[in-house]
Amino acid sequence: MTDELIEQEMKATNQTKEEVIEEFLNEKKPFMAIKRRGKVEEVAAVITFLCSEKASFVNGSNYRVDGGSVATIN
């Protein structure tokens, strides 16, 4: 989801992809539990589960698949 934004930032700042990602995580997501971008397979695994018979009794649930990107207060 962020690939295009990363490409634009690379061109604008003359940084490598790794530098742009590291800067983004440090500045925009300093509280993120998992200090990396998510993988397509990680999101797909949750979708696959929810579409499977194993989730047949799941109802009205929210699954946040963001590596802790959205901070919550308990």
Is residue 74 scored above 80 in pLDDT? no
Provide the 3-class DSSP secondary structure of residue 36.
coil
Residue 63 · residue 50 · CB < 8 Å: yes
CB-based burial, 10-49: b 16+ in 10 Å, e otherwise:
beeeeeeeeebbeeebeeebeebeeeebeeeeeeeeeeee
Overall average pLDDT of the 50-69 stretch: 91
What is the pLDDT at residue 73? 54
What's the whole-model pTM score? 0.68
Instruction: Give the pLDDT confidence of 7-57 residue by residue, as tens digits.
Output: 999 999 999 999 999 998 898 888 888 888 889 999 999 999 999 999 999
